Amino acid sequence: MALAILSLTSYSQDIFGKWLIESGDGHVEIYQSGDKVNGKIIWLQQGADTKDKHNPDAALQSRKLVGVDILSGLSKKKDRWEGGTIYDPKTGKTYKCAIWMDGKNLKVRGYLGIFHETQTWKRLP
């Protein structure tokens, strides 16, 4: 019984898996890569052929967004993952990032200096 409770507790705090982003128009899969955590786009409402047209690197503007890591290089620090970046394909900008579990939801915060924006992502089945 205790083992079952412990496994449920660890699952509820597990950031890994597939998430619906706050706007509802994309899915991101968070995964382990070595000792870091990344998150890649796996579905977009606009379609699988949507291009990275706002990327500041002209050579990347023709790449498809599905498969692109938008979360990169996060490391676990207590109950958060931080020290990485988040890429916003709607603006082509990259920000410092931290993520953490808030109940069943994932909080995703992007930083620009002292300013920040936090989104709530919902786990997909």
pLDDT of residue 74: 98
pTM: 0.88
Query: With 80 as the cut, is the pLDDT of residue 23 above it?
Result: yes
Query: With 90 as the cut, is the pLDDT of residue 26 above it?
Result: yes
Calpha distance 19→106 (Å, rounded): 8
pLDDT of residue 27: 98
Average pLDDT over residues 15-24: 97
> 17 falls in which pLDDT band (50, 70, 90)?
very high
Q: What is the pLDDT of residues 30-61, one digit of tens each?
A: 999 999 999 999 999 999 999 999 999 999 99
Q: Which domains does the chain have, with CATH numbers?
A: 2-123 (2.40.128.520)
Query: With 90 as the cut, is the pLDDT of residue 13 above it?
Result: no
Q: What is the pLDDT of residues 59-111, one digit of tens each?
A: 999 999 999 999 999 999 999 999 999 999 999 999 999 999 999 999 999 99
Report the alpha-carbon angle 105-109-114, nearest 5: 150
Q: Position 72: which residue type?
A: S
119: nearest Cα among 94, 98, 103: 98
pLDDT of residue 124: 97
